[in-house]
Structure 1
Amino acid sequence: MAHDHLIELLDLDAEVLHAYHHDLIGWVGREAADTPRIADLGAGSGTGSLALARDLPGAEITAVDVSPEMLAHLRSRADAAGLGQRIRTLEADLDQPWPDLGPIDVLWAASAMHHMADPGQALVSAFGALRPGGLLVIAELESFPRFLTGTADEGAEERGHAAMAKRRQEAGLHMHENWGERITRAGFTAVTERHFDVDLRPPLPPAAARYAEVSLLRMCHGLDGRLPSADLAALEKAAAGLVGRTDLSVRTERTVWLARR
């Protein structure tokens, strides 16, 4: 799938799951310094950076990502939202020695840690980047969004997710790690774990149908040649006919860890 579709998917995730993101940032805001300096690790399309800047008016954010395309999109969105003065971008590969981020009060890593080649080393780098008393935030997906639960296409969607999980495992992604244990091993203290169970039922806003469409098409693209043709055809057909459906839902699980240096 084209790079711009991944950007759209990340943007739609923030829009459709806005209640989750707002709840999470509110929790972080209560635990962070009054005017925190935040580094958004693996910032992607900027959904985290923008939400942090909006919901924490005193925050200054450094958005870090390896992709110049993502950072250009993020910069455009920040400027359009009038937040450009409080969000700076930094191109960096966090699997390499980390750049100097300056004094940091909060390290925000949303769906980023599982991409790290060596999560243990990344957490050591995170510990070194934070000021004493600073806050580490790791948010990870326990399950990717399901949209067709309770419909005739539920089985094909579940088989697609199972095949995608196998592909991620083969690619070496660190899904479902014991992040609490890893965080403690890196030297952090006061580790708190919180589970978010997102279950959005119809009627849903129009953006939810597009979110489902882009997600399912991305799945089809990733599983071409790896999924039985009947399941692939069912998912492609479902993705093509989502607008106007009244039986879509959005179900996903996220787990978040907060810890102190």
Structure 2
Amino acid sequence: MAHTPHTHHHSHTTSQAEILDLDAEVLAEHLAAITAWLPVKEDPRQVLDLGCGTGAGTFALLARFPDAEVTAVDASADHLHRLQAKAEALGVADRVRVVLADLDADWPDLGRPDLVWASASMHHVADPDRALRAVHDLLAPGGLFAVVELAGFPRFLPADAPEERPGLENRCHAALAHDHADRVPHRGADWGPKLTAAGFTVEGERTITANVEGAGNEAVGRYALTSLGLIRGKAAPALNTADLDALDRLLDTDGPASILRRPDLAVRTERTTWAARRA
């Protein structure tokens, strides 16, 4: 009989915020590598983080540009509340302004930023071309726009795992892709041509691959559990009983097949960044 890890089925919002926080913790050095690569001509003073989530990009940018102030925009009051609490804990609250706004509606006054950062947010916008033009018009002349996109959900297991259901993660991802194709049609888009069409000059494109070992890394374990719990909720209708049972065994933290007990646990993911300048 399958173990059902009820303790790991949070509400969607909690899971989303938790995953964003864990993602920031586990992939901090990869995010730092992206911000270090940005082809800025001089350090920006006004930075805009569009679809900031719980602040992974905001804090990476504050660290990278010590004289900058960041306006962090998101449609989730919960995310912004978490971001603000973190800014206070880190002693940088005076450098952060949070704005609750829906990027599909009319945008509020977001100032005249030198750098706009949009990480995993542009594919959520209903009309990305409109959003890109809006960014172009609000950027200071010569300013930079960084669009960061993920290559889907991270992977945590080798392709031949788990032993009783090899390829389980691939099937989960295929089910997710089907779900995303309907809800998030712009995910996986090539943003280069879209940026050019919006009037930008694309100055660089870079893909960074992350491979973080899970052994002895407690945050990786929590990241895997929370992510796979979220995947289970979304992919369940497309998975057969044997796959669901195998997934539940991975999610059962008390069971012998728990993902936390696997020596081959890792986080593998890719992020592509487009750096585009306003003339």
Taking structure 1 as the reference length, the TM-score comes to 0.95
Q: Is the 8 A contact 2:214 2:221 kept in 1?
A: no
Unaligned ranges ≥5, structure 1: none
The aligned residue for residue 113 of structure 1 is 122
Q: 2:97 aligns with which of 88, 91, 111?
A: 88
Distance 1:202 1:97, change over 3 A: closer
Q: 1:245 aligns with which of 222, 245, 262?
A: 262
- Structure of higher RCO (CA pairs closer than 8 Å, 6+ residues apart): 2
1:137-172 superposed Cα distances (whole Å, 9 cap, x missing partner) = 000012321001155325111100010011000114
Amino acid in structure 2 at the alignment position of 1:10: L
2:216 and 2:191 map into 1 onto residues whose CA distance is 33
Q: Is the 8 A contact 2:221 2:259 kept in 1?
A: yes
Amino acid in structure 2 at the alignment position of 1:42: G
Determine whether 1:140 maps to 2:149. Answer: yes
Q: 1:68 aligns with which of 65, 77, 84?
A: 77
Q: Is the 8 A contact 2:80 2:98 kept in 1?
A: yes
Q: Is the 8 A contact 2:115 2:145 kept in 1?
A: yes
The aligned residue for residue 210 of structure 1 is 222
Amino acid in structure 2 at the alignment position of 1:231: D
Measured after TM superposition, the shift of residue 99 of structure 1 is 1.4
Measured after TM superposition, the shift of residue 52 of structure 1 is 1.3
The aligned residue for residue 26 of structure 1 is 36
1:194 and 1:249 map into 2 onto residues whose CA distance is 23
Q: 1:47 aligns with which of 50, 53, 56?
A: 56
The aligned residue for residue 16 of structure 1 is 26
2:161 and 2:263 map into 1 onto residues whose CA distance is 13
Q: Is the 8 A contact 2:214 2:220 kept in 1?
A: no
The aligned residue for residue 4 of structure 1 is 14
Question: Which protein shows a greater Rg?
Answer: 2
RMSD of aligned C-alpha atoms? 1.5
Q: 2:271 aligns with which of 254, 258, 261?
A: 254
Identity level (%): 42
The aligned residue for residue 101 of structure 1 is 110
Aligned residues: 260
Q: Is the 8 A contact 1:192 1:258 kept in 2?
A: yes
Matches within 5 A, 1:116-195: 116-153=125-162, 154-195=166-207
Taking structure 2 as the reference length, the TM-score comes to 0.89
1:141 and 1:23 map into 2 onto residues whose CA distance is 15
Q: Is the 8 A contact 1:184 1:191 kept in 2?
A: no
Deviates more, 1:207-216 or 1:53-62: 53-62
Distance 1:149 1:189, change over 3 A: same
